[in-house]
Amino acid sequence: MMPRPDVEKLGLKHRRIPIVSIGKDVYLDTRLQLPALEALFPDTPKLGFEAGKESDQFALQQLLSTLTTDSGVFQTAASLIPSDTPLLQDPKWQEDRKNYFPHGDMSKESMDRAKPGAEVEMARTYKLLESILQDDRAWIANGNRPSLADIEAIWPVIFTMNIPGALASDKFSKEIFPKVYAWVDRFQAAVGTAKNHQGKHQSLKEVRPRRRLPSQSTAASQRAWTLQMRSSSS
Residue 147, SS3 per DSSP: coil
Do both 63 and 39 map to the same domain?
Answer: no
207, 6 in Cβ contact below 8 A?
yes
pLDDT of residue 218 exceeding 70, the answer is no
pLDDT given for residue 181 in this prediction: 98
Using CA atoms, how far residue 65 sits from 58, 155, 178, 193, in Å, is 10, 11, 23, 24
Do both 73 and 136 map to the same domain?
Answer: yes
Number of domains within the chain: 2
Q: What is the amino acid identity at position 54? A: E
Question: Is 223 among the domain residues?
Answer: no
Q: What mean pLDDT value characterizes the chain?
A: 79
Do both 103 and 126 map to the same domain?
Answer: yes
Q: Which of 219, 71, 53, 40 is nearest to 147 (CA)?
A: 53
Query: CATH number for the domain including 115?
Result: 1.20.1050
Residue range 142-189, pLDDT digits in tens: 888 898 899 999 999 999 999 999 999 999 999 999 999 999 999 999
Do both 62 and 141 map to the same domain?
Answer: yes
pLDDT given for residue 116 in this prediction: 93
The residue segments making up the domain with residue 7 are 1-44
At residue 40's C-alpha, the angle toward residues 186 and 143, to 5°, is 30
Do both 93 and 155 map to the same domain?
Answer: yes
